[in-house]
Amino acid sequence: MVLLAVVRLADDAYGVPISKELLTLAGREVALGSIYAALDRLEQKGFVTSLLGDPTPERGGRAKRYVRVTPTGVRALKMTRTALMNLWSGIPVLEGRRS
Amino acid sequence: MNSNQSNPPRLAIWWLLHVCPGSHNDALTGDLIERFREGQTRGWFWGQVLIAFAVGVAREIRWHWPAFCYAAAGMEMPGLLSPVFRQSFLHWFRLWDSLAWWTPAVGLPEAICHGIEETLQILEFGSPHWTHFELLRLSTR
């Protein structure tokens, strides 16, 4: 979910917009600390890269950590989508048919 | 809005920057301050800091689990071994004494036992601190 939010936000992907995106689209209030932990894991796997922006006064003079998805990350997302679609298909109960 | 409402708790920021494990805590602090100034409460800020701390500690343990197991075992072992050592040494020296071979050096076995007991107590007392040091060392990697 975090990786998808990063892809959707494109150039504006940092902690605050990611958390808002997850709340709006998935209806989940995710703690910023958890988002950072997920981003660290994704960066370790090579799915995202991060760079620091300029410090701003409204953030107490602290920089934003912008993240961007890598080609490996996009590939991983596509593979996950394919795997999930395969798992969902052929289940009558989920497709609204009677078994 | 007064300064107390626009500024997040200073202790929480200090905790986040100096105690929470993690390599991007400065950016996380900035994000929390940004959200706080959008209208979140001080309680919310503290909650976020505590969650970040818990998540950071769990992540450090997961990444360095052999060192964590080593430190945890180091903390528990002296406590577990202390009664065994004490009983075995006392039993051995009492037997020795009853055979009356120990007359020239009466009191020495008890002194040795006492010394061993003291050493074990120092280890027992010191080990939690050592574990704490290990965790701190891991968190600052």
pLDDT at B103: 47
Segment B13-56, tens digit of pLDDT: 888 888 888 778 888 899 999 889 888 889 999 999 999 999 88
Q: What is the mean pLDDT of residues B58-64?
A: 81
Provide ipTM, 2 decimals: 0.81
Segment B68-119, tens digit of pLDDT: 777 777 666 666 666 666 666 666 666 655 554 544 455 556 666 667 667 7
Nearest to B30 among A19, A37, A59 (CB): A59
The C-alpha of A50 sits at a distance from chain B's nearest C-alpha, in angstroms, of 10
A15: pLDDT confidence band, cut at 50, 70 and 90? confident
What distance in Å separates the CA atoms of residue B123 and residue B85, rounded to the nearest whole number? 13
Q: Is A60's CB within 8 Å of B24's CB?
A: no
Q: What is the mean pLDDT of residues A49-58?
A: 86
Task: Check pLDDT > 50 for residue B121.
Answer: yes
What distance in Å separates the CA atoms of residue B58 and residue A94, rounded to the nearest whole number? 36
The C-alpha of B50 sits at a distance from chain A's nearest C-alpha, in angstroms, of 9
pLDDT at B107: 54
Q: Is B31's CB within 8 Å of A33's CB?
A: no
Task: Name the nearest CA neighbour of B41 among B67, B12, B75, B14.
Answer: B12
Nearest to A65 among B27, B47, B55 (CB): B27
Note the pTM of the prediction, 2 decimals.
0.66
DSSP letter string over A15-51? HHHHHHHIIIII-----HHHHHHHHHHHHHTTSEEEE
Residue A70 token pair: 């890598």
Nearest to B27 among A15, A34, A58 (CB): A15
Nearest CA in chain A to B56: A37
Q: Residue A35, exposed/middle/buried by CB under 10 A (0-12, 13-18, 19+)?
A: buried
The C-alpha of A47 sits at a distance from chain B's nearest C-alpha, in angstroms, of 17
CA-based max dimension of chain A = 60
A28: pLDDT confidence band, cut at 50, 70 and 90? confident
